A and B are shown apart, each in its own frame.
Chain A
Amino acid sequence: SQTIHQWPATLVQPVGSPLSLECTVEGTSNPNLYWYRQAAGRGLQLLFYSVGIGQISSEVPQNLSASRPQDRQFILSSKKLLLSDSGFYLCAWSAHPGAAETQYFGPGTRLLVL
């Protein structure tokens, strides 16, 4: 069966520090991968998605970047965090190819930038 991992679960970082959040998927190959951010009590904002290694699409201009160095690894990064980067970050995968179908979410990383 497929599983998706995210770490760390919680992170407190000072403004201006770098960020690296990692997401890995097991039990499937060539998945579509997604990074979302969720503000408290709100819906999900799509940040990046990837249909293959090295293929990244950015949805929202921002202080963040994403990379996919391996088929089942998706990394969210920042060189200098802003206060506004605080939030709950969710990684998800869906079967590839095809239009968006069921997405499977990781447990999330809660980021607090102080």
Chain B
Amino acid sequence: SQQGEEDPQALSIQEGENATMNCSYKTSINNLQWYRQNSGRGLVHLILIRSNEREKHSGRLRVTLDTSKKSSSLLITASRAADTASYFCATVHTGGFKTIFGAGTRLFVKA
């Protein structure tokens, strides 16, 4: 079954630096979403990008989608300690109903 795979599994950066996380998937999708999860909490939706879109911005977040490579990236600019969390990509197959979540990237931002 299709599943988004995030890369890297873990990332440690200094406050103020940019953080880039990647997601790859295997079959065609309707949309791809990024979620954030603070430790021991529920997931929070960050951004959704549709299969006919290539780039989206939301505040300090920038998401790109390359359907030819079946990959997406999430860029967090000017990171803050409060950005420390796990980030998950989630995909919805073309014609599908379910959202498939990857294993996530753990981001640690050092103050």
Q: Which A residues lie at the B interface, using CB under 8 A?
A: 36, 41-44, 46, 49, 59, 88, 90, 92, 99-108, 110
Contact B40 A110 (CB under 8 A): yes
Contact B103 A42 (CB under 8 A): yes
Q: Which B residues lie at the A interface, using CB under 8 A?
A: 3, 30-31, 33, 40-45, 48, 88, 90, 92, 96-104, 106
Q: List 12 A-B contacts (CB under 8 A).
A: A36-B101, A43-B3, A43-B102, A59-B98, A99-B30, A99-B96, A100-B30, A101-B31, A101-B92, A102-B45, A103-B45, A107-B42
How would you classify the secondary structure of chain B's contact residues: helix, strand, loop or mixed?
A: strand
- In the complex, the chain B residue whose C-beta lies closest to that of A59 is B98
- In the complex, the chain B residue whose C-beta lies closest to that of A103 is B99
Pick from A36, A43, A100, A102: contact of B97, CB under 8 Å? A100
